[in-house]
């Protein structure tokens, strides 16, 4: 899967979601997703990737999503992203190993304390 140079916005639960190997998410704007009233505990976020190996999220502008901004597990690379103004965490990495998270700007997240 490759998602490049896209504007992903105003989706009901998730902006981008996927499973698989060698996924590339690059140079996108991912904003204002999670607008349908789902509970933040039900994977409301800008992105949610599961069971991915070789996921690269690079150079994206991720902002104003309800819930989390970027959310993934297992073998992932997050680099050169601007992530901010989410209700919960800017970047969530769980049940995981082999992550590289570097050179991101992550600010003004966790704006709702009841999430």
Instruction: Using CA atoms of 31, 33, 39, 43 in order, give the dihedral in degrees to the nearest 10.
Output: -80
50, pLDDT greater than 60: yes
Is the pLDDT at 48 greater than 60, yes or no?
yes
> What per-residue confidence (pLDDT) applies to 40?
67
Q: What is the mean pLDDT of the chain?
A: 91
Which residue segments constitute the domains of the chain, with CATH numbers given?
2-107 (2.160.20)
Largest distance between two CA atoms of the chain: 35
The predicted pLDDT at position 115 comes to 46
The angle at the Cα of 37, spanning 33 to 39, to the nearest 5 degrees, equals 95
What pTM was computed for the model? 0.92
Q: What is the pLDDT of residue 97?
A: 76
Average pLDDT over residues 69-81: 92
What's the pLDDT at 38? 83
Q: What is the mean pLDDT of residues 7-12?
A: 96
CB 72 within 8 Å of CB 47: yes
If you average pLDDT over residues 60-73, what whole number do you get?
94
**The token pair that represents 2 in the structure block:** 């490759």
């Amino acid at each position: 899967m490759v998602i490049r140079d896209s504007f992903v916005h105003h989706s009901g639960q998730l902006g981008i979601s996927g499973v698989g190997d060698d996924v590339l998410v690059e140079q996108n704007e991912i904003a204002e997703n999670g607008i349908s009233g789902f509970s933040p505990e039900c994977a409301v976020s800008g992105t949610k990737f599961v069971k991915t190996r070789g996921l690269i999220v690079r150079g994206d502008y991720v902002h104003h999503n309800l819930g989390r901004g970027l959310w993934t597990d297992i073998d992932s690379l997050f680099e050169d992203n601007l992530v901010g103004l989410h209700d919960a965490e800017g970047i969530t990495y769980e049940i995981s190993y082999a992550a590289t998270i570097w050179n991101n700007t992550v600010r003004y997240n966790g704006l709702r304390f009841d999430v």
